[in-house]
Structure 1
């Protein structure tokens, strides 16, 4: 069953990790896909190649989401190529782990600019295009379990993910009258470039795996189904919602 047949899906931060999986997954579900990426030209080209192998059209647009003009350029390029925007998956994010008391100002500000400001600009630009088109749309933001819990080395990161979750709640209200649905997914510990170095510590990895009732850490591909569902017409009455995708980690208090 192809949940996104005939739709145009945009995904930010899609040269690797969750974004890449979401983009390829959207193509598997029948969508044409435009991806945003910042530095990884080879990764972006590889992602587009995978989309095209599936018989769908793909487009890669380079740009730093922290800059407001990146969002308007991404939307314009996607519309020029595919004619419309049906779904925006706001995924781009960074998490340079660092202790709180000596957090460099630039590390804090860069994380805020990419994760929070970048999501805001992309969601806003996509929403403007969807309103102009007049047939609604779906926005899915990749927040995190970190929107709900803390992390000693993530004091700059967790507020941004709480902010992304809150942004979806508020835009759900602001955009509902236009038929635009806004939801967030909250991944648990997914094995990506963001946490590769942190989880290279075998003892920490075993500890994290032990906290997950399903007995394993997540893979980027575990996010495809939840994102495709929220993006699709199956979720036509779902907006302002947050879907935990964490293998049960959050509820495992004991």
Structure 2
């Protein structure tokens, strides 16, 4: 039970990496606040997830609000305190990547991506950190960045800067929040099969290429991210802050 009786907030938790992380945190003893977009289509998925968490002997509540809204972080923190009395871990996972070329990038697409992936994350991290400081017991903040923070993508000129921004945010927050015992780290997933890249990976040639670039010989699954998240959230990582952990099957180091 790495996270016994801790309260964990996870954004973008109705599916994919966020869902897998929520279930693993519950298995490790945590209670969960499930952040999701608030869309009607996501509600059944959230209800199902909460049911699974409760079947594991833990509890969960949900907050439906857009990740790009600067007020969403305060809503997540308020829900955590109201239901469970504290905020011990904050996992910023919500993100979008509507693939598009650079020269004709719609301004609205760019702004929505930056607001969802970075601006909203900034204020949510701030809200969680303020509560952790007030509690006086430290805490853990984890941002799900991306291998895209380190490499470019012709169809991701709006996306890669946000992921680089999350990595930089965690580095700076590690310095700013270290005196309060709050650890801040970033995870950099490689190609993980989720809804965000489902259409892109439907191209078999592209899929085969990505697998071929990965030394472990397969694409990632959401569950591959859950263990690293639980580790960084736990006291096993008590002296880990300002770090970035690649979870990519070796893709980044494979230059051949």
What TM-score bracket applies, with the shorter chain setting the length?
A: over 0.9
Structure 1 segments unaligned to the other structure (5+ residues)? none
SS in 2 for 1:196: helix
Distance (Å, rounded) in 1 between the aligned partners of 2:67 and 2:134: 22
Distance (Å, rounded) in 1 between the aligned partners of 2:146 and 2:49: 23
Give matches, 1:34-113, under 5 Å: 34-38=33-37, 39=39, 40-113=42-115
Distance (Å, rounded) in 1 between the aligned partners of 2:132 and 2:125: 10
Distance (Å, rounded) in 1 between the aligned partners of 2:48 and 2:200: 26
Alignment deviations for residues 76-103 of structure 1 (CA, whole Å, 9 cap, x no partner): 0111000001000000000000011100
Distance (Å, rounded) in 2 between the aligned partners of 1:44 and 1:236: 31
Does residue 136 of structure 2 align to residue 134 of structure 1?
Answer: yes
Query: TM-score, normalised to structure 1's length?
Result: 0.99
Distance (Å, rounded) in 2 between the aligned partners of 1:222 and 1:50: 19
Give matches, 1:84-233, under 5 Å: 84-233=86-235
Name the counterpart of 2:15: 16
Query: TM-score, normalised to structure 2's length?
Result: 0.98
Distance (Å, rounded) in 1 between the aligned partners of 2:97 and 2:49: 22
Distance (Å, rounded) in 1 between the aligned partners of 2:119 and 2:98: 17
Aligned residues: 253
What is the Cα deviation at residue 66 of structure 1?
Answer: 0.9
Q: CA RMSD in A?
A: 0.6
Alignment deviations for residues 88-143 of structure 1 (CA, whole Å, 9 cap, x no partner): 00000000000111000000000000000111011000000000101000000000
Name the counterpart of 2:24: 25
Query: 155-164 or 35-44, which moves further after superposition?
Result: 35-44
Distance (Å, rounded) in 1 between the aligned partners of 2:17 and 2:8: 15
Q: Which runs of 4+ in 1 moved over 3 A?
A: none
